[in-house]
Amino acid sequence: MPSARFFVRSTEHSPDGARIGSWNEQDRGMSSAGHDGSPDGGGRAHRPSAASVEEHLAVVEELLRPLRTRTPLSVSVADALGRVVHADVVSPVDLPLFRNSQMDGYAVLASDVAAVPVTLRVDGVVAAGPSEIVRIESGSAVKIMTGAPVPVGADAVVPVENTERSTPTGDAVTVTVSRQPGDYIREQGSDITAGTILVRAGQVLEPRHIAVLAAVGLDSVAVVSRPTVAVITTGAELVDAGSTLRPGEIFDSNGLTLAAHLRANGADVVSVRRSSDDRGEFEKILFDAAREAELVITSGGVSMGDFEVVKDVVGPLGGRFGSVRMQPGGPQGVATIEGTPVLDFPGNPVSTVVSFLVFARNIVREAAGLDRIEPRPVPLAHSITSIRGKRQMLRARLGDDGVSLVAGPGSHLVAAMAWADVLVDVPEDTTALEAGEKVQVIPL
């Protein structure tokens, strides 16, 4: 069997100074578990006291600490949309790159057109694009197109609308409006000078940033590498969307849901796999996932049923499973397989999402170079009740009068998650809150 190890929060240290993992099972609510939850897989199940959300979050943060160490990655500017800039990006050139015309018209000496009307000799044409250096003399003009280099000696451009052709051949032009030095000329570096910071480190690249990077000629940019994550869903009852359901089967929503949440928060989802309740099948999928990703997230198979394949396989390999005083999302597990951290979430769809939002989202975001999403206080639009001893994460929606619940605590109520835009975080020692009282809400 492939090797595995488990790493958790601890204050102990190994002889070489490295931190080693240990848990007080009674305090942390986790235990090594066999099929029935007992340490060796037989006899009466050991049920340690449940951990608080803060305690379990501390364990997860320690487990995922290596995820925060990122190396920059050079990507094509064409593929950089949505990526996080690793370091300040500076312009290698001036912009505009050279003096050029803002209008179609005639390049002139401003002193020649101070008194109008005046007729000037036309000594050529300059178009946008590669061209020879053109010089201008007093008494003459050069026909010029928008974006074309301004001839040496010219200090103004007269728009074509302010001129009249003086001869049928166009070899002379009459200027009808006087111009000042600098009129309709874009000076070199008037927009950006070489060395100017274009995009700050930590910026998520948007189309406007792509525009300026391309304009100064950059073809690549250093970005924060995205944490790679593999997702595994479990359950013999799961089938792909679009399949014909047999009695007892349900569509697998957790895989796509977790992948969507991960991608929305900066992760690179390298695979989404599904396993039946067969231990051999799950073990192979688990180890394959651990070898290809920096983090593995599983859903299902962590509760107290007879077919808890994640607990059955990961428990003997050093995984820890137990309960967190949170609803939904009470059953939780953590492990390290092949050096890769593994988070084991419960399988009910809402429990899976809440577990990710509470325990993993901000860690993934920080690893991806994104800002944390923090809760904020909002008044309740109506009174609510809660279960003492369980930290409730209630689906809700923000409105002009505050936040309103859209569903109860049931972990199977998927539609309410689509209607909600926040979770209301109700402390575990709270049983009732009145309308107008402020609660912490977690944006979805």
Q: Return d(Cα 234, Cα 246) in angstroms, integer.
A: 17
Residuewise pLDDT in 10s, the chain (444 residues):
444 433 333 333 333 333 323 333 334 456 554 433 333 444 334 455 899 999 999 999 999 999 988 889 999 999 999 999 999 999 999 999 999 999 999 999 999 999 999 999 999 999 999 988 999 999 999 999 999 999 999 999 999 999 998 888 889 999 999 999 999 999 999 999 999 999 999 999 999 999 999 999 999 999 999 999 999 999 999 998 889 999 999 889 999 999 999 999 999 999 999 999 999 999 999 999 999 999 999 999 998 877 899 999 999 999 999 999 999 999 999 999 999 999 999 999 999 999 999 999 999 999 999 999 999 999 999 999 998 999 999 999 999 999 999 976 655 577 888 999 999 999 999 999 999 999 999 999
- 160-166 long-range contacts (CB < 8 A, ≥24 apart) are 160/103, 160/104, 160/105, 160/106, 161/105, 162/105, 163/105, 163/106, 164/117, 166/119
> How many of the other CB atoms lie within 10 Å of CB of 248?
7
Q: Return d(Cα 203, Cα 373) in angstroms, integer.
A: 16
Q: Is the pTM of this model over 0.85?
A: no
Q: Maximum distance among all alpha carbons in the chain?
A: 108
Q: Return d(Cα 311, Cα 329) in angstroms, integer.
A: 16
- Are 391 and 375 contacting, i.e. CB atoms less than 8 angstroms apart? no
> Per the structure block, which two tokens stand in for 32?
């090594």
Calculate ∠ Cα 280-281-283, nearest 5°: 65
All structural domains of the chain, each given as residue ranges with its CATH number in brackets, are 4-70+226-367 (3.40.980.10), 72-95+190-224 (3.90.105.10), 100-186 (2.170.190.11), 376-443 (2.40.340.10)
- Are 381 and 399 contacting, i.e. CB atoms less than 8 angstroms apart? yes
Three-class secondary structure of residue 257 per DSSP: helix
